[in-house]
Amino acid sequence: MRILYAVSDLLADLQSHFVDKYVLERELGGGGMSRVFVARDERLDRRVVIKLLPPQVTATISAERFKREIMLAAQLQHPNIVPVLSAGELGTLPYFVMPFIDGESLRARMMRGPLSARETVTILKDVVRALGFAHNRGIIHRDIKPDNVLLAAGAAVVTDFGVAKAISASRQQQGVRPVAPTMTGVGTSLGTPAYMAPEQAAADPSTDHRADLYALGIVAYEMLTGAPPFHGRTPQALLAAQLSEIPAPLTSRRYDVSVPLSTLVMQCLEKEPAKRPKSANEVLRMLDDPGVLVSDAFPAAEAPKQRRKRFTEIGIGVVVVAAVAVAWVLTDPGAPTKAAADSAKSARDSAARVAATGSAPATAVATGPHAVAVFPLVSVGSDAEAGQAAEGITSQLASALSRVPGVRVSSQTTAAAVRQGVRTPADAARALNATMLVEGTVQRASQRLRVSVRLVSVANDSTVWASTIDGTTSDELALQDSTVKAVAAAVTASVRR
């Protein structure tokens, strides 16, 4: 048989071993702990992938035990799991064979930039289905990461199930205590530091399926923000961070993510396994909630010309107010001429800045050490009843917060106008000279209403408080009261800190 790409003795030996089964075509890079080769199964006219463990990995493992463990994973037959077709040894080097997936890895997809919330949730559901199926059969992946998630034919599939466990178990068979891979340079034998749960980093023998959920949370975080929580650190620093450091809130790094989705991701990243979701099936139920795709953040930025036009219109309105003020000064000799003239000049200057720079007007904004911008709550969908509830809650919030000692609230009219022309909440709040902002959504399902609201600190662009409050359409006033009290308490607490 013809060898298409023989570049080493290893490749030649592998071809000789599979002479009656496969024709080796090429070696793939990026295999992590294994050497990965693409081969053609000419009998079935299909491509396969052969993964061979190199000597530096196999030096301290039992090949026979590894084969037994990997064949347990071969029992996993699920649409979102890449199956193991066979396993064996090339001399002393264990290998296993899997189908070739004609697509790209999630890692390759993320190289083109962060994913949308919808695309992220779609991929997460497929991965979680795979995890749930495996976990229910007592198999933990232990190395969930973008490289082990493949995208093909409109679905995500998980590869290398059971490999980390097989290596771990075969090392234990040899009397070798598992250690974190970064301490030995082995690569991904027991996990990858950037995605490793704290209990894995500590080599805790009681590590269970919830380690996969932690890794899933990091993958989700990276899909949405473009980088994992502790990106750019040394392997040792990564392990230390996984053990003790709380990741920055997802909402502090991306604003167009719904509160339910952000909450789920951060729950998966809890240091204590008991605080994470109990199972992959629970995560799937949370992902199936329509609310995970309902962003309560700002719409996409308008085109620069449109934004300039919008702010120019606001500026024209300021000029009109200024003109009225000047006319009043000229027709009323008893008016406080200097004060009115100064006010008119300030308004004209503000309008000029708006027209020249596209910045929000400086009038009608909150000032002071604790200034809050209350943006209109958004009705999910086109539901008129939810829209009315959103308007009522927004009005009550602005009124209630204005009575909190030490707090000033921006004009609702100006806040609404600025919101339409600025991409992120923090940018809008800065344009309003606010130090905090309040925003949220209202959603109706039959006779139930759900308010999702959050308080954002402008200084560090992070959510300092968020809550979901449920009520009914028959008692919207009670829902208003509950929401207003909760937000007012959060603002008061932030002011006192």
Residues annotated catalytic, as ranges: 143
Answer yes or no: are the C-beta atoms of 223 and 269 closer than 8 Å.
Answer: no
The dihedral built from the CA positions of residue 56, 59, 63 and 66, taken in this order, carries a sign that is negative
CA distance 466 to 2: 63
CA distance 429 to 431: 5
Task: Please tell me the total number of residues recorded for the chain in this structure.
Answer: 497
CA distance 125 to 79: 12
DSSP β-ladder status, 371-374 and 436-445: parallel
**Backbone conformation region of residue 160, classed left if phi is above 0, alpha if psi is from -120 to 50, else beta:** left
Q: Is 428 strand, coil or helix? A: helix
211 CA to centre of own chain: 18
Question: Residue 91 is which amino acid?
Answer: G
Q: Count CB neighbours of 275 within 10 A.
A: 11
195 closest CA partner among 244, 156, 241:
241
Answer yes or no: are the C-beta atoms of 438 and 454 closer than 8 Å.
Answer: yes
Q: Is 111 strand, coil or helix? A: coil
Backbone angles phi, psi at 30, to 5 degrees: 70, 30
Q: Count CB neighbours of 439 within 10 A.
A: 25
Q: Where is 46: in which H helix or E strand?
A: strand 46-52
Answer yes or no: are the C-beta atoms of 117 and 293 closer than 8 Å.
Answer: yes
In 138-269, which ranges are E strands? 149-152, 155-158
Q: Count CB neighbours of 137 within 10 A.
A: 12
